[in-house]
């Protein structure tokens, strides 16, 4: 799964990296501990233009009665997208890329109460392109045409996870799907309804793409959010180094 990640690259640099035509996101600053329901950047297409926007992490389906459902939908399993009432529509028409500079995973250490957090980045330092889905939600009362609720639209997203590569498998049995650059056009194209070929993109990224760094348990607390969270520490276990 993916329960925490970082976003340190500026919106301007992300727009250049992902070939964005327009930035419609507000400046989120540098984030070292993005948690469920936090806002994050995402790249999506609209009207044939690629845009960098601000989305709430945790997909809220358009038909949901309450925003709270999004806290349970931060990840979408690649294998079940077409079977999910929450994700199928977005998989067919509303796909996005969620940029991340890294994500955290926790290693269970035999005989230890606390798990060892690891910070996972690309070895070349470039931003990752998480495969994501998005949706647009309004409160039920706004759907009935109440003019006072016209600005209550919430755009939300979820990170697609799949089986891990051999490196990440030492930590968890799931990992975010990281799309290579040559898959971005097909993934973002809203006219692309070939779900079979799209599912073919949802494969584990190569193990050699990643670098793992042991970090402190300070990341366990969602209110902690600073560069100290990604500083290397002496790991309880060195099996992944």
**How far, in Å, CA of 63 to CA of 138, rounded?**
9
- Which residue carries 């889905």 as its tokens? 133
The values of phi and psi at residue 217, to 5°, are -75, 0
Give the residue among 232, 65, 40, 5 at the shortest CA–CA distance from 155.
40
Which residues lie closer than 8 Å to 223 by C-beta, 6 or more apart? none
Give the residue among 158, 216, 179, 209 at the shortest CA–CA distance from 32.
216
**How far, in Å, CA of 64 to CA of 155, rounded?**
13
Beta bridge partner(s), residue 97: 43, 131
Beta-strand pair 31-34/95-100? unpaired
As given in the structure block, the two tokens for residue 183 are 């898959």
Active site residue 105: yes
Active site residue 2: yes
**How far, in Å, CA of 173 to CA of 138, rounded?**
34
Q: Which of 45, 105, 107, 157 is catalytic?
A: 105
Q: Which of 2, 45, 96, 157 is catalytic?
A: 2
Positions marked active-site:
2, 105
């Amino acid at each position: 799964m993916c329960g925490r990640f970082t976003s340190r690259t500026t919106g301007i640099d992300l727009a250049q990296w992902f070939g964005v035509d327009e930035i419609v996101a507000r400046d989120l600053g540098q984030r070292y501990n993005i948690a469920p329901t936090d806002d994050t950047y995402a790249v999506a297409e609209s009207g044939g233009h690629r845009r960098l926007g601000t989305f709430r992490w945790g997909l809220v389906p358009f038909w949901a009665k309450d925003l709270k459902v999004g806290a349970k939908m931060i990840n979408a399993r690649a294998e079940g997208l077409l079977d999910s009432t929450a994700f199928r529509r977005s998989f067919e028409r509303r796909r996005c890329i969620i940029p991340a500079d890294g994500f955290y995973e926790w290693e269970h250490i035999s005989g230890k109460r606390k798990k060892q957090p690891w910070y996972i980045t690309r070895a070349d330092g470039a931003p990752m392109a998480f495969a994501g889905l998005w949706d647009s939600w309004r409160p039920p009362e706004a759907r009935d045409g109440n003019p006072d609720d016209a600005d209550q639209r919430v755009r939300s997203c979820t990170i697609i996870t799949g089986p891990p590569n051999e490196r990440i498998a030492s930590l968890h049995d799931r990992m975010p799907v990281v799309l290579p650059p040559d898959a971005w056009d097909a993934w973002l194209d809203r006219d692309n309804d070939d779900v079979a070929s799209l599912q073919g993109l949802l494969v584990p990224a190569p193990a050699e793409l990643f670098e793992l760094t042991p970090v402190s348990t300070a990341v366990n607390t969602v209110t902690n959010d600073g560069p100290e969270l990604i500083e290397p520490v002496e790991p309880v276990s060195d099996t992944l180094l």
